[in-house]
Each structure stands twice: as C-alpha cells, then as structure tokens.
C-alpha cells in the first residue's frame, strides 16, 4: 500500500476517534457505546442547525425527520397499532388529544385492571410515545401487569409553547379518569397511575398536582412514577448541573435551550440563564419562600452537595426577568408548588441518575414530597446518565437501561 493512502486513512481514523471520544466518569458502564450514541446525536443536531441557518427549515423539524428515518430503518413497522402478542394497540383521541391505548388481551377475567397514563420526554419538542423504547416498554407493561396504558401524543415546540403541552396532557388525563371511560376499559378507579420521563416527568408531576387539588375530579391518581424529571428553571447551577454539564446526552446548555423554547422566551437569554441572572435576588416576583422550595443547600444530602456553593446573583441584567413568562408558574416548575399542594400528591417513585444535570431536581422533589408526608421511593443509579430509560431496546440497549426499566415495572407491580 502506498504511503499517502495509509497516512490519509490513519489521519481520518484519528480525527473520527477525536470527534467521538469524550471523557466520562469511570462509573459509567459501556462508555464507548455512549460516546458513539452521543456523537450520532451531536452530528444530527449540528446538521439540523446548519440547515436552519441556511433557511432550510426549523432545526427541530430536521431532527424529528432524522430520528424518524432512523427508527423506520432499524425497526420497520414497530410503531404501528393493531394486535401484538398479549396487547391490543389503538390510536384514538381523548378530549381531542391524540393518544395510543395499550390493552392487555387477557382482559380483566372478572376483575378490574390497572390503568396508567404515560407522558414521553424530549424537551417538550421531540419524541413520541409511539416510537422506540417508549412503545416497547408500554407494550411490556400492559402485558405483564395487566394494565391499560394511555400514552399521550401532546403537541410539541415549535408548533406550540407552554402551557399547551401541559394542557393537552391534563385534558387527556381527565378524560381517562372519568368514571365512564374507566368503566369502558375495565379499569379499577383505585388503581390508576401517572408516569413520565424527563420533560414528560415534568408534565406528569404538574398534572398530578393539579388533579390532586381539583375537587371537581372524583377519581385521583393513586401513584406517580417520575423518571429523571425536570422540575425547575430558576437555578441552572445546582451541583448536578455543574458536575454533569459535559456528560451526554443532556448537556447543560441544551437543557437551558429546551426551557427557553418551552417558555417562548428569547433564545439569546441562554448565557444569562447559565449565570442565574434570570433569577437574581432583585427579581421582584421571587420571594424568599419560593427560593426555599429549591434551596439545595438544605434539600440535598451532603454527598450530593459536595463542595459546591450556591450561585446567587444580587442584581440581574436590566429587563431580562420580564422576558421569561411562566418562570414561576408551578404548571411549568412543579418543584415550586407549596407544601399544601404536595401533601395531596399520591405515593411516588422517582428515578434519578448520578451523571445527569437533572439529578438534583428529582432529589429535591423527593425530599419535599417526603417532608409533606408523601411516601416516596427514590431509585438512584450511581452509574446512571440522562436518557438511560430509553436505551433498553436493540440497537441502543444498555444494561443500565434494562435495569432501570425492570425496576420501574417492579415498582408499579407492587404499588399500582
């Protein structure tokens, strides 16, 4: 072989390895698989941003098309309805909101079945409960636990912003909880749960708070399962945000961007939010009482606080605070809800991951719920990273993802 082709091959290989490699904590298992997955996601997002810059469509639309195309290649026909072993799948609407319903074929056998509303993640902009691991896990749950699962296809950014995503989920949940609908699906009104991951966990927590406090809703959720939920947008400098800001697949700036998009805010405020300028001490609407509800120096155990110090800005940039509508709305930030609201919430499961910027959101919510008298199971993964729950099915299956899914199913089996 001639020297030049060899040199070029070596150079390209080295460049590819440099692009893929990122330093990861030793505790993370299967690191190279995570690096490869992250590189693919970064490439997709970069190409989407370039197309958007060239005026060839919104970058979110490009990402959706890319992920849907990959899904159709890797799992052809996997997202369709109909009947699969043990489960009947149908796409219908609840209160005008598209949902996918999974019904166990075994039926109730004379006994009422469990019910579960599931809300997928994706930064309020991406994802679908009909795709990938979400679909597979819901089929598995329906079959194994004899449960009617309702996966809500709420509207997404950029077509809509807060509070539309929340309102879609609330409408679908209320419809399912109505006695007539529960009776039609043979679901026990005492055994209906709510679940969601990431942004879906945010929506799940907010919907549960609203329904738990609404005297007009006769049937309440008996449990909620929140998978690494995002729960507040006031402090982007918690220990987990700083510790894990460079850990895939949810980087700190990306989470801030998801929030700005959701709240219909100016995306140029990203740097202000990263510095906590948007929640400075001179913010006229953030009272000491509200700040105490996400005071991680009190709510987190020392092993999570470590040596981090709170990032508190005395005076924010002029005019910036008014450009974040919904910042203090508990429908967007469930962690800010008062103790009287939290006390009405049902038994709760919260999955948190050590290497996730959202770790502390989940840990603080678990502590506040416990302080309000709610029974909470916090399933913490010392080797976990954000998104692992979605990586339990080939070809993106991690042992961590399989363990997380099984723990979630086992908890629901014992508590729902």
* Residues labelled catalytic: 198, 356, 386
Closest CA to 145 of 203, 188, 183, 182: 188
∠ Cα 141 144 145 (to 5°)? 75
Strands (DSSP E) along 22-74, which ranges? none
Q: Are 342 and 294 in contact (CB under 8 A)?
A: no
**Distance in angstroms (rounded) separating the CA atoms of residues 30 and 3:** 35
CA distances from 155 to 251, 373, 376, 390 (A): 24, 34, 30, 20
**Distance in angstroms (rounded) separating the CA atoms of residues 158 and 87:** 33
For residue 49, give both structure tokens: 């941003």
User: Cβ of 276: how many Cβ atoms within 10 Å?
Assistant: 18
**Distance in angstroms (rounded) separating the CA atoms of residues 116 and 140:** 13
- CA 72, chain centre distance (Å): 23
Rg (C-alpha) for the chain, rounded Å, is: 22
For residue 112, give both structure tokens: 């009422």
Q: Are 76 and 66 in contact (CB under 8 A)?
A: no
Cβ neighbourhood burial of 34 (10 Å; 0-12, 13-18, 19+): buried
**Distance in angstroms (rounded) separating the CA atoms of residues 281 and 316:** 8
For residue 142, give both structure tokens: 């329906």
> Whose structure tokens read 């009190």?
298
Q: Checking DSSP bridges between strand 82-84 and strand 87-94, what pairing results, if any?
A: antiparallel
For residue 391, give both structure tokens: 């990586």
Phi, psi of 312 (to 5 degrees): -120, 120
**Distance in angstroms (rounded) separating the CA atoms of residues 123 and 200:** 8
Cβ neighbourhood burial of 150 (10 Å; 0-12, 13-18, 19+): buried
């Amino acid at each position: 072989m001639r020297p030049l082709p060899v040199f070029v091959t070596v150079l390209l290989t080295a460049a590819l390895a440099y692009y893929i490699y990122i330093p990861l904590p030793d505790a993370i298992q299967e690191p190279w698989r995570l690096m490869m997955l992250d590189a693919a996601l970064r490439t997709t997002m970069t190409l989407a941003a370039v197309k958007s810059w060239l005026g060839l469509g919104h970058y979110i639309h490009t990402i959706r098309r890319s992920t849907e195309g990959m899904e159709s290649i890797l799992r052809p026909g996997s997202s369709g309805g109909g009947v699969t072993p043990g489960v009947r799948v149908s796409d219908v609407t609840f209160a005008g909101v598209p949902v996918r319903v999974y019904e166990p074929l075994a039926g109730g056998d004379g006994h009422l079945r469990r019910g579960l509303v599931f809300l997928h993640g994706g930064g309020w902009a991406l994802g679908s409960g009909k795709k990938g691991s979400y679909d597979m896990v819901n089929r598995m749950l329906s079959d194994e636990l004899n449960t009617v699962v309702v996966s809500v296809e709420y509207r997404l950014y950029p077509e809509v912003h807060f509070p539309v995503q929340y309102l879609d989920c609330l409408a679908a949940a209320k419809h399912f909880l109505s006695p007539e609908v529960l009776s039609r699906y043979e679901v026990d009104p005492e055994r209906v749960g709510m679940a969601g991951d990431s942004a879906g966990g945010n929506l799940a927590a907010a919907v549960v708070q609203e329904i738990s406090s609404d005297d007009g809703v006769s049937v309440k959720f008996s449990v909620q399962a929140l998978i690494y939920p995002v729960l507040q947008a006031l402090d982007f400098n918690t220990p987990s945000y700083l510790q894990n800001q460079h850990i895939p697949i949810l980087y700190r700036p990306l989470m801030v961007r998801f929030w700005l998009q959701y709240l219909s805010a100016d995306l140029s405020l990203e740097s202000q939010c990263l510095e906590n300028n948007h929640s400075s001490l001179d913010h006229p609407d953030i009272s000491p009482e509200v700040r105490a509800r996400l005071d991680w120096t009190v709510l987190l155990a020392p092993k999570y606080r470590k040596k981090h110090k709170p990032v508190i800005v005395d005076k924010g940039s002029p005019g910036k605070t008014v450009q974040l509508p919904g910042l203090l709305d508990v429908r967007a930030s469930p962690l800010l809800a008062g103790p009287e609201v939290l006390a009405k919430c049902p038994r709760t499961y919260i999955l948190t991951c050590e290497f996730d910027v959202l770790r502390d959101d989940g840990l603080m919510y678990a502590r506040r719920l416990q302080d309000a008298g709610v029974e909470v199971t916090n399933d913490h993964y010392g080797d976990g990273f954000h998104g692992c729950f979605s990586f339990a099915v080939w070809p993106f299956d991690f042992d961590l993802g399989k363990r997380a899914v099984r723990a979630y199913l086992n908890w629901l089996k014992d508590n729902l």
